[in-house]
Amino acid sequence: MKRSYLFVILSILICNNVSAQEASSEYQIFAKRFIENIKDNKKEALADQVVYPLNREYPIPDIIDKADFIKRYDEVFDANFKDEIIKSNPEKNWYDMGLRGIMLNKGSIWLDVDGRLTAVNYLSKFEIDLRKKLIAEQKNDLDASINYFQTPICILETAKFIIRIDDLGKNNYRFASWAIGKKMSEKPDMILYKGKLIVEGIGGNHQYEFANDKYTYECAIIILGEKNSPPARFTIYQGSKKILLQDAKIVSVYSVDMTFSRSFCCVICVNFSF
């Protein structure tokens, strides 16, 4: 769901709700081990200590397993990033975030309470260039009515619909939907603009709301849910009456630099005629 949109929002929430402190002695051991592995380019050792998938900024593919991590190691950990890590001090630059684990500086690296790598919030020049290329390819493949946007957010799928969310700039979110079986190169069945983002606490759960005449499309991503919760869910209201509820799976997601959530994605709305 692996990576950038919303770093500022989460950072504000985190600063308001969580007090970071210098890493404990146990966490410092984890940080020191990670630093040494980076310094010595021990790719295999690092790969064994990753929680997969390791999210990358959409539309860059997530790192799915150990072999993928080793293959793409140099694409992620470039000279500048390695320098930041190697020069870091486990006592002064790594911070204890409680049950979230520890983070390096402002969250460029996150390790969990067992010392495993859970997030890399850094883009190398290679990844920056790759992301630009992939976004350009996406725009070329979209129908002319929606092939303009600033940031791609996500692609979702319900039992009946394919949904795409993009940020047109300045948090002006756009929703487009197609019936299952159609392609995004075709004109969308419905397009909605000016979606509103609502963040629930600091756990990562959030939703987008789109208004369309007397209908409200409430689109939610579930990061922290019950055991059998779906990745995403949408509800449609007619006034205050709930008229539709569906689960959704996340096909692709744009994950902005983040501190706590390993995947903070956009959500869905669907196309209906009433």
Cβ count near 167 (within 10 Å) = 19
Distance CA 212, CA 141 (A): 27
Q: At what angle do helices 66-76 and 125-141 cross, to 10 degrees?
A: 110
- Cβ(81)–Cβ(127) below 8 Å: no
Bridge partners (DSSP) listed for residue 209: 196, 218
Tokens 């069945």 appear where?
A: 189
pTM beyond cutoff 0.85: no
* Structure confidence at residue 154 (pLDDT): 81
- Cβ(253)–Cβ(154) below 8 Å: yes
Coil, strand or helix at 229? coil
Distance CA 208, CA 176 (A): 13
* Structure confidence at residue 72 (pLDDT): 98
Q: Which residues contact 175 (CB under 8 A, 6 or more apart)?
A: 163, 164, 165, 190, 191, 192, 193, 195, 208, 210, 217, 219, 268, 269
* Structure confidence at residue 236 (pLDDT): 85
Residues of the chain scoring pLDDT < 70: 1-23, 202-203, 253-274
pLDDT tens digits along 224-243: 778 888 888 878 899 999 99
Q: Which residues contact 238 (CB under 8 A, 6 or more apart)?
A: 214, 215, 274
